[in-house]
Amino acid sequence: MIGFADLLPMTDGDLATMTFLQDVVDIMLGYIVKSFDRSTKVIDFQYPNELLQMNNWELSDEPETLDDVLVNCRATLEYAVKTAHPRYFNQLSTGLDMVGLAADWLTSTANTNMFTYEVAPVFVLLEYVTLKKMREIIGWQDGHGDGIFSPGGAISNMYAMLLARFKMFPEVKERGMASLPRLAAFTSEHSHFSIKKGAAALGIGTESVICVKVDERGKMIPSDLERRIVDAKQRGLVPFFVSATAGTTVYGAFDPLIAIADICRKHGVWMHVDGAWGGSLLMSRKHRWKLNGVERANSMTWNPHKMMSVPLQCSALLVREEGLMQKCNQMQASYLFQEDKQYDVSYDTGDKAIQCGRHVDIFKLWLMWRAKGTVGFEAQIDKCLELSEYLYDKIKDREGYEMVAPIIKARMMEYGTTMVSYQPQGNKVNFFRMVISNPAATFEDINFLIEEIERLGQDL
């Protein structure tokens, strides 16, 4: 029986390696084609204890054969959620882009790390090129500024808060929060929970995150923001950070950035735009007006792994001031960032990060951008928004199934025909949170979803 010891780097392992990898590729190709097939289930749902018992998942002392390894690969995909399925609407990241997938395979094959130009020359340059392009699209002059790809929107938002604090109080790096006055951060009551998570982690505390009221469509009310900033100052707090949301997690609302920018300037507060979800609308000439004012922000989170359908993970933090990230985070580790290297060490971006090693997240975005062009992303985003308008028109006059969302959801999982998330918001009861970012979805899939929800809830 052939095992891992027959593969490269073993002598004469070439043939066995090619055969094994090709077998895995064939399994994956079969899965991919099936994922896009509407007649297959989105998920073959099993309860955790059942799934634990349906297969032997334990780790043992002894090796398996490569045939067993292939069996494991098949089993893993069999019980996976088909996130590429045209009827998977469950999360903000849905769909599977074929060029992005190919790029992610290639990234794994290159198996390197973003800390220095030395070990990732091409990827470091592509990050440089892409971040510059994104800053141009934001509208910062000549694409100047800074940025990084981080492990997700929550970390990107945390970076922004870290930078805002450092900008106002650079001594915090050495001396900690003990040397600072009490800070206050502001974000809307519909903003993402990562703002509070970040404040907790950074030693600022969740109580220092002051929630600003939203209007009936979920947008931050600027007058309430200003009132709370003034109030915080009167209580002796120092406002240092406003996070406006471009595309809230539940309503998909866009905070009014121009009015917020005016308030931030007036009070000398760092303006961050959390565009993890809605930032991609900047690629659409038709819809980018929703982010008017973003060019006045000090920083922005923008996750191409959401509405642009780049495979997970791909989140960018863009920063208007160049050099600040480096000053805030650098520790000048001499084993990585030698100053006496033979090349321009400004390409060694690792010391900007709070991480040491950093995963290569850039190549899939870059390669998709080359394959689609800006216009390709634009078309994809415009189509998602068209589908969501269609859905809105179809259901705006129907009511009645909100109260029983969890029961319908449970049935939906068991049938596996489609997947959509649900949640309460404030004093509202549970309702379905419909996410349309899957490039595979069509008008028919929206119709199917509505009918399926009604069918599953029929006897309730």
Q: How far is 277 from 249, CA to CA, in rounded Å?
A: 7
Chain mean position to CA 395: 28
Q: Provide the terminal-to-terminal Cα distance of the chain, rounded to the nearest Å.
A: 55
- Smallest distance, Å, CB 291 to its own copies? 19
C-beta closer to its own copies: residue 214 or 263: 214
Q: Which residue has the tokens 């029986």?
A: 1
Q: Which residues make beta-bridge pairs with 302?
A: 275, 316
What is the amino acid identity at position 92? L
C-beta closer to its own copies: residue 290 or 409: 409
C-beta closer to its own copies: residue 234 or 397: 234
C-beta closer to its own copies: residue 40 or 338: 338
C-beta closer to its own copies: residue 14 or 223: 14
- Smallest distance, Å, CB 450 to its own copies? 20
DSSP string, 343-396: S-GGG-GGGGSSSSS----HHHHHHHHHHHHHHHHHHHHHHHHHHHHHHHHHHT
- For residues 23 and 73, the answer to whether their CB atoms sit within 8 Å is no
Count CB-CB contacts under 10 A for residue 129: 14
Chain mean position to CA 362: 13
C-beta closer to its own copies: residue 298 or 313: 313
Count CB-CB contacts under 10 A for residue 48: 7
- For residues 350 and 336, the answer to whether their CB atoms sit within 8 Å is yes
- Smallest distance, Å, CB 280 to its own copies? 15
Closest among 36, 28, 42 to 77, alpha carbons compared? 28
The shares of helix, strand and coil residues in the chain, as percent rounded to the nearest 5, are 50, 15, 40
- Smallest distance, Å, CB 83 to its own copies? 5
Closest among 131, 133, 139 to 294, alpha carbons compared? 139
C-beta closer to its own copies: residue 222 or 240: 240
C-beta closer to its own copies: residue 250 or 385: 250
- Smallest distance, Å, CB 262 to its own copies? 28
- Smallest distance, Å, CB 266 to its own copies? 26
Q: How far is 131 from 144, CA to CA, in rounded Å?
A: 10
- Separation in Å, CA 240 to CA 184, 272, 405: 6, 11, 40
C-beta closer to its own copies: residue 192 or 219: 192
- Smallest distance, Å, CB 232 to its own copies? 14
- Smallest distance, Å, CB 407 to its own copies? 9
- Smallest distance, Å, CB 30 to its own copies? 10
